[in-house]
Amino acid sequence: MRKTIAVLADIHGNLEALEAVFADMEQHAYVTEIFCLGDLIGIGPHPNEVLACICARENVQVVSGNHEEAVLALIHGEAYPKRSETIRAHHEWVAASLDDAYIPWLTALPRQLTLEREGVNILLQHYHMKETRREFPIWRNPFEPVDYHPTARKLDDFYEEVEGSWDIVCFGHHHPVHLFQTEKRVYLNPGALGCYHKPLARYALIHLGEGQASVELREIPYDKGKVVEALYRLEVPKRDFIVQTFLSSKPPAAYVSSYGGNIEKG
C-alpha cells in the first residue's frame, strides 16, 4: 500500500503562505500525515494564527525549532541565546503577543521525531544535532552551525556518528531547498515555507511504498505583499530587517516617509 506524507519547514509566522500550502494539499487527498520541522513562529506577523492553523489539524506532528525555543526562553525567564540577540526585540514581541494557550503545547514539542512508514525509516528534526548536544538548552546552541554549502558527502559523514539507521533525514533551519541522495539515505530540506524572496510557499511530499520513497518538491504561489503589509501595519519589531533579509521586499508605500526613510518605531 502506498502512502504520501507532507513535510513543511520554517513557516515563520507566515499565515498567507501556510494557507496556500494547505489549500494545495487539499487537492492531494492521499496525504495522510503532515510533519512540521520547527520555526512555526518568529519573523512573520501572525504567530497565533499560524499555531491555530496547525493545531486545528489532527494529522500534524511538529518538532521544535530555534525560534520557538528562543521565545519560550523569554517567557520562562531562562537564558536567551546569544546567537539571537540581533532579533531579541522581535522575539520579545512574539512572546508578548503569544496566546497563553499555546505555551504548554510549544514547551512540550520534541526536538526529533523518528518513524517508520511503509518500510522506510525517517528522522525529522529542525536541524542537525550531535548526540552530545541533543539535550542542551537553546542558549547552549544544540543545533549545529548552519552549513551554507552542504554536500551529500558531508551529510553522510555527519550522520555516521548519529545513532539510528535512517533511510530519509528531513531538516530545515537553512532556508534553501536541499535534496541529496546517497547510497546510504536521502537528505531532504523542503526549503522555508514562509521565508523566500519569491512569492512562493515551498514544501515537499514524500511518496512511500514497499520500502521505497520518492520526493516531490512543490512551490505554491501566494500573496507575499499581504505579509509585508501586515508586518508594517502591526508595527512588528525588526520589520525593516525582516522584509529586506527574509522576504527580499520593500516597505509598502504607505509606510515610507516623504524623505524615503522607513517609518519603524520598534
Report in angstroms the alpha-carbon separations of 88 from 94, 183, 238: 10, 42, 9
48, 98 Cβ separation under 8 angstroms: yes
Q: How many residues does the chain have?
A: 266
Distance from chain centroid for Cα 68 = 10
- pTM of the full structure: 0.93
For 90-108, the pLDDT digits (tens) are 999 999 999 999 999 999 9
Strand partners for 205: 6, 216
Domain coordinates in residue numbering, the chain: 3-255
With a CB cutoff of 8 Å and minimum separation 6, the contacts of 145 are none
Q: Which residue is listed with cell 512543490?
A: 218
Q: Which three cell numbers stand for residue 78?
A: 531562562
What pLDDT does 264 receive?
Answer: 41
Rounded distance between C-alpha atoms, residue 259 and residue 266, angstroms: 19
CB atoms within 10 A of CB 119: 12
Structure confidence at residue 263 (pLDDT):
37
Q: What is the pLDDT of residue 255?
A: 65
Q: Assess contact for 78 and 263: CB atoms under 8 A.
A: no
Buried b (16+ CB within 10 A) or exposed e, 78-104: eebbeebeebbebbbbbbebbeeebee
- Nearest alpha carbon to residue 187 among 158, 214, 152, 162: 152
- CATH fourth-level superfamily of 3-255: Metallo-dependent phosphatases (3.60.21.10)
Which residues of the chain, if any, have pLDDT below 70? 253-266
Q: What DSSP string describes 21-82?
A: HHHHHTT-TTEEEEEE-S--SSSSS-HHHHHHHHHT-TTEEE---HHHHHHHHHHTTPPPPG
